[in-house]
Structure formats: C-alpha cells, structure tokens
Amino acid sequence: MTTTAFAFVVAAYLIGSLSFAVIVSKAMGMADPRSYGSGNPGATNVLRTGKKAAAALTLLGDGLKGWVAVALTAAFAPRYGLGDQVVAASALAVLIGHMWPVFFGFKGGKGVATAVGVLFGFNVWLALAALATWLFMAFVVKISSLSAIVACLLVPVYAYFITGTATPFFGTCIIIAILVVHRHKSNLMKLVTGQEGRIGEKTDKQG
C-alpha cells in the first residue's frame, strides 16, 4: 500500500472514530450511552432514553460518516492513481473506526448505521436492499439486533446480484457482514435466552 493510499485509509478510520452517540448525548446533556441499557453507543440504545431527536441525530451522524469516508475516497483517490481497492479499504477502515474508535478508548458501536452509510457509498440499490430488509424485520420482530444480523447476512447475497463479484466491493460486503455479526455476539446470546430488548424499550437512566 502506498503512502497516499494509507493516508486515505487512516483518514477514514479517524472519521469512523467519531462516535455520534457519545457526541450527541454529551451535547444534549444526556448520560453517556455506554453507561446504560445495552451499553452500546448507537442509535438504538440512545432511543432507550426516550429522546427520539438524539437517537435520530446519532443514526444520521453514524450513517453519514460511513458514506462520507467512501465518497471522499472515491472522489479523490483516482487523482493519485488509486482505484476501487483503496475505496474498499477505506470502507472497512471507517467501519472499524466506529467499532473501535481511537477517540473513545476503542469502545465503539456495532456498526449497523455506519455499514449502511458505506453501502450507500458503494451502490444506492445495495444500500436500499439492506435498509429495506432491516425495516421489514424490525417491523415484524421489533428487535433491532436480529434485524441487523439478518440484513447484514443478506448483504453479500444482494451484492452478488447487484454489483457482481468482479469488484473488491463484493469481498468487502462479506467482511462487513462478518464484522457486524461478530459485534452482535452478545445480542445473539440474549436472543437465545429471550433476554434481548425491543426497539423503543426505555431505560430508567435518561441522563
């Protein structure tokens, strides 16, 4: 990897390290989302406070940073003779930054919103397919984690038909699915034992 390519990847990681759940909560005078509910700094956990605006801003911020990292790399990398491989690497870097943010002690979120943002950077139809799957599952089962897991597992399938296997984005989608499912391993255990919380379920600690 060239120095320029490495710079794009590092920049994407730093963008991903901006945890909007923590940033928004602090700006709105709320408790740190890592201190209540599931302890996950993400929109679903912020929603447990009942503050819908904070949850929406968190969701928007986490999604946008995924798209921004991919879009900026795709826009500027070709000027330095860099191709889709660097765009794919930046996509993984922004997601890893969200999951293990350098600015917040490497304790980040589970990456669903950021992954969707990344997919929008890859292909709009791919992202819409994943988003539609999450929304359908969320409507049916009302469990965010299960909806995210199902949507992520189907992303490589959607990518196979939408973008094909000839681009580095297909392999990246497989890695994204693995990373997101891995980050949901505690949720999988709760799902098995029937202890997983539902979307909109409030917590007593609202900050």
**pLDDT for 135-182, tens place per residue?**
999 999 888 889 999 999 999 999 999 988 888 999 999 999 999 999
Query: Terminus-to-terminus CA distance in the chain, angstroms?
Result: 45
pTM for the model: 0.90
Cα–Cα distance measured from residue 84 to residue 179, given in angstroms and rounded to the nearest whole number = 20
Q: Which of 47-56, 61-70, 116-125 has the lowest mean pLDDT?
A: 47-56
pLDDT confidence of residue 202: 64
Q: Chain-wide mean pLDDT for the chain?
A: 91
DSSP letter for each residue of 25-64: HHHTTPPPGGGSTT---SHHHHHTTT-HHHHHHHHHHHHH
Task: Express each pLDDT in 147-159 by its tens digit.
Answer: 999 999 999 999 9
pLDDT at residue 203 is higher than 70: no
The 10s digit of each residue's pLDDT in 105-132 is 898 999 999 999 999 999 999 999 999 9
Read off the pLDDT band of 76 (50, 70, 90): very high
Residue type, 4: T
pLDDT of residue 201: 67
Provide mean pLDDT across the span 13-17.
97
Which pair of structure tokens corresponds to residue 1?
A: 């990897």
Q: State what percent of residues in the chain have pLDDT above 90.
A: 72
